[in-house]
Structures are given as structure tokens and as C-alpha cells.
């Protein structure tokens, strides 16, 4: 019998085309918003996760607490802290790094970007373990005092004239020669970074002892929690303060995911409001439909339709409106997510948008359920009409 109700619903929806389309739009917008937001934020999560996997889960990062900015206070990290950590066994290497946002110029044109200093002895390892590869040239070796390895966007976009291997850029009045260009990493900060030797950076930035971050590469992943604790304890004892933080890649990832989770919750909540509005639209349309078809209901009851038949006829109809809205919503939502992915690429962050079938199916079922629920009250009202009253209605 459900097939009959389905056919009747199709008929009735086609019978009032314009109104059906208007009703649909409400649901389409709601579903599209929810699907695109969920898809984008889940893609964001997995993109960040995969970047972290590259970054290496085997790292412990030590940085000044609260991130006061590079070299702002004596409470920051110093070479002494690096020594403290180096004394702990279990690390492959410990890399101190300094970072400074500064002016960089090329052929009299100035740019502004982050310059990092990394020790010569670990320079190559540091990048290789991060999963970052060279696009051209080579890494800096000991003795390359004024060599620079730059991110892909430094070469492409930073200056009017494109840079090449061997191009000379100027940092703090000192000329550097580009010896290597990194492959695109996918986020604009890393791709705009210029890497030079730590000793050179100390010299030109006049930071003889400061360290902005210490990256410790662990030999065995299983040791991470233990080593993290050990670093904390030793640094606290030596420094006699707690103005530093020791985090692992996994912890950072967890924090980011937490923030993303909250963001997703809020955004989907907002999108859900538009779906509620859509649901009210269906309800309104169904009430009108019941009113318009009061005589039909009377006739159907006279020729043997039970209350439950009338109820089902209208529920199938509102469910169908929801489902059709869901289909369009899922299509538009997916398209929107893909477009957002394209935009992000041109904005400097490579977001890999993945369309997940399960989420699409969920969207469809959800829209169907919204349709049915919106139809309950009107359908119930229709089913309770007395045949005489319905037949007399004009």
C-alpha cells in the first residue's frame, strides 16, 4: 500500500509545483549547510592530522610558556636548557631553533617573513624527519655560513621577480645565497619561511644565548611519555621555574582537534537552526495542503479510508518533501565543500576535502526524518477530520 501513498504523494507534490519548490528550498539550504560544514571541518581535521603525521609523532617540543614572543624576556629558553635536555639519554638529536619575523629584501624590494635558525649539524635531519623534501638545490652544510633554504612560496610569490637557486637575498644587511628550495608543505607560514644556520642567525639577530624552541627527536616512540616527564623535571630543577612547556605532537594535535570539535559543534548548531526553519516551512505547506484537500479527505474516508490511511498518505508526502530536499541539499552541500577546498588551496592552505558517503546518507535520512516529523501534526489533523465535516467543506 505504501507504493500507492508514494504515488499519491508524488502526484500531490507535482500538483502544486511552485509551493513544493519553495518548501524544498528551506530544507535544501539547511541540509546543504550542515553537510558542507561537517565535510569541511572533518577534512580540516584529517588534513591537519596527516600534516602532523609527517611532522613526526616522535618529537617533543619545548617552548617558553605563554609564547611571549621571540627573545622578549630573560625567562625564555637559553642554551643552558638545551644542554640540560641533551644530557638526558634516549634522543636521536636535540635541535635548538630561533625564529624571528624580519624584513627580507631582494633587488631593493622588501618583504616580511619568518626567518629560522637551525644548527648546521642537524639541518638536513631536521627537515627529512619532518617529511619536508627539497624541490631543488640542497640543504645547508657546515661552512655554508650565508646559505639559505627557503619555502616554496618565498621563491614564487614573495617578490615581484621570482627567485632562483643562487639568487641573493638580504636579511639584516647581510646577503644570503639561496642553496635550496623546499617542496610545498601546504600551509602558508611554513611555505613562506626562510631557514638559515643557527650560528649565523645568532650573529645577525644579536641573540647569543636565546632559544625560541627546542625540538627533541626521540629514538623510540614508546619512550615519549617518560622522556617528556624527565625533561619537565630536569628543566624545572635546573631553572628553578616553570616558565616553559613541554608538549608532544600528539598533544598539540589533540588540542587542535578539541578546538575544531567546538567549532564544528557551534557551526553545525547554527546550520541546524536553518533546518528548523525549513521544517516549519514543510509544516506550513502541509497544513495548507490538508486544508486544500479537505474534500478529498472526505471522499477518501467515505470510500473506506481509515484514519491511519489518511495519516500515512500525508506522512509519506511530507517525508518525500524532506527526502527530495535532502537529495538536493546533499548535492549542494558536497559541491560547496569542494569549492571551499579549492578556495583554501589558493589561500595558501591545502585542504584535502573528502566527501564521505556515510555523512551523505546521514544527511538524507536526517532530511527524511525532518520531513516526517514536520508532517506529524498536519497529518494527524487530517486523519481526525470527520467524514461529514470534510465532505461539507468548501
Partner 1 sequence: MTTLIKLEDVHKIYKLDSTEVPALNGISLSINKGDFVALIGPSGSGKSTAMNLVGCLDLASKGEIYLKEHNIKHLSESDLAQIRGKQIGFIFQVFNLVPSLTALENVALPMAFQNVPRGIRLKRARELLEQVGLSDRMKHLPSQLSGGQIQRVAIARALINDPEIILADEPTGNLDTKTGDEIMKLLYDLNRKGKTIILVTHNPDLTKLANKIIRLKDGKLVGS
CA atoms in the 13 A half-sphere facing the CB of 37:
19
Q: How far apart are CA 237 and CA 223, in angstroms?
A: 21
Q: Per the structure block, which three cell numbers stand in for 346?
A: 589558493
Minimum distance between the CB of residue 374 and partner 1, rounded to whole angstroms? 21
Q: Measuring CA to CA, which residue among 382, 383, 376, 381 is closest to residue 318? A: 376
How far apart are CB 388 and partner 1 at their closest, in Å? 5
In the bound complex, what is the minimum distance in angstroms from residue 297's beta carbon to partner 1? 10
- Cα separation, 47 vs 42, in Å, equals 8
Beta strand 194-197 with 109-118 is: parallel
Measured from the CB atom, is 277 or 388 closer to partner 1?
Answer: 388
Question: By the 8 A CB rule, do 244 and 77 touch?
Answer: yes
Q: Phi and psi at residue 244, in whole multiples of 5°?
A: -150, 160
Say how far apart CA 392 and CA 386 lie, in whole Å.
10
Name the residue nearer to partner 1 (CB basis): 56 or 387.
387
Nearest to 121 by CA among 54, 217, 11: 217
Grid cell of 207 as nine digits: 641573540
Residues within the interface to partner 1 (CB under 8 A): 1, 3-4, 7-8, 11-12, 14-15, 295-296, 299-309, 386-388, 391
- Name the helix (H) or strand (E) containing 156: helix 152-157
Q: Which is nearer to partner 1, 75 or 309 (CB)?
A: 309
Using the minimum distance from each CB to partner 1, give the nearer residue, 73 or 307.
Answer: 307
Stated as kind and residue range, the H or E segment containing 314 is helix 307-346
25 versus 391: smaller Cβ distance to partner 1: 391
Cell of 323: 527526502
CB 349 → partner 1: shortest distance, Å?
Answer: 52
Q: Which is nearer to partner 1, 233 or 384 (CB)?
A: 384
Any residues with CB less than 8 A from the CB of 391 and at least 6 apart, and which?
295, 298, 299, 302
Output 10 or 134, the one with its CB closest to partner 1: 10
Amino acid at each position: 500500500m505504501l507504493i500507492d501513498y508514494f504515488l499519491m504523494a508524488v502526484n500531490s507534490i507535482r500538483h502544486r509545483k511552485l509551493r513544493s519548490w519553495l518548501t524544498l528550498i528551506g530544507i535544501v539550504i539547511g541540509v546543504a549547510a550542515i553537510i558542507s560544514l561537517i565535510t569541511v571541518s572533518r577534512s580540516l581535521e584529517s588534513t591537519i592530522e596527516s600534516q602532523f603525521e609527517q611532522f613526526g609523532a616522535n618529537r617533543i617540543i619545548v617552548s617558553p610558556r605563554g609564547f611571549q614572543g621571540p627573545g622578549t624576556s630573560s625567562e625564555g629558553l637559553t642554551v643552558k636548557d638545551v644542554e640540560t635536555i641533551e644530557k638526558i639519554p634516549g634522543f636521536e638529536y636535540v635541535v635548538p631553533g630561533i625564529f624571528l619575523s624580519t624584513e627580507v629584501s631582494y633587488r631593493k624590494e622588501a618583504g616580511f617573513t619568518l626567518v629560522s635558525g637551525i644548527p648546521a649539524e642537524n639541518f638536513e635531519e631536521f627537515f627529512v624527519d619532518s617529511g619536508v623534501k627539497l624541490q631543488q638545490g640542497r640543504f645547508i652544510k657546515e661552512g655554508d655560513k650565508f646559505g639559505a633554504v627557503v619555502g616554496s612560496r618565498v621563491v614564487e610569490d614573495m617578490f615581484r621577480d621570482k627567485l632562483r637557486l643562487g639568487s641573493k637575498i638580504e636579511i639584516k644587511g647581510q646577503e644570503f645565497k639561496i642553496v635550496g628550495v623546499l617542496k610545498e608543505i601546504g600551509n602558508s607560514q611554513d611555505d613562506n619561511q626562510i631557514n638559515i644556520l643557527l650560528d649565523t642567525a645568532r650573529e645577525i639577530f644579536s641573540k647569543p644565548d636565546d632559544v625560541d624552541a627546542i625540538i627533541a627527536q626521540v629514538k623510540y616512540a614508546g619512550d615519549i611519555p617518560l622522556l617528556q616527564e624527565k625533561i619537565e623535571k630536569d628543566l624545572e630543577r635546573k631553572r628553578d621555574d616553570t616558565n616553559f612547556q613541554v608538549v608532544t605532537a600528539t598533544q598539540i594535535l589533540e588540542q587542535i582537534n578539541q578546538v575544531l570539535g567546538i567549532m564544528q559543534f557551534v557551526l553545525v548548531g547554527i546550520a541546524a537552526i536553518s533546518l528548523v526553519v525549513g521544517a516549519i516551512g514543510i509544516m506550513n505547506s502541509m497544513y495548507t495542503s490538508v486544508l486544500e484537500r479537505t474534500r478529498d479527505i472526505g471522499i477518501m474516508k467515505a470510500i473506506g479510508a481509515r484514519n491511519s490511511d489518511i495519516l500515512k498518505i500525508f506522512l509519506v508526502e511530507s517525508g518525500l518533501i524532506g527526502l527530495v530536499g535532502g537529495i538536493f541539499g546533499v548535492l549542494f552541500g558536497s559541491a560547496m565543500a569542494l569549492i571551499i577546498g579549492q578556495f583554501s588551496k589558493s589561500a595558501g592552505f591545502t585542504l584535502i576535502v573528502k566527501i564521505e558517503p556515510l555523512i551523505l546518507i546521514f544527511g538524507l535520512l536526517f532530511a527524511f526524518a525532518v520531513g516526517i516529523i514536520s508532517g506529524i501534526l498536519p497529518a494527524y489533523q487530517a486523519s481526525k477530520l470527520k467524514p461529514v465535516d470534510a465532505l461539507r467543506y468548501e
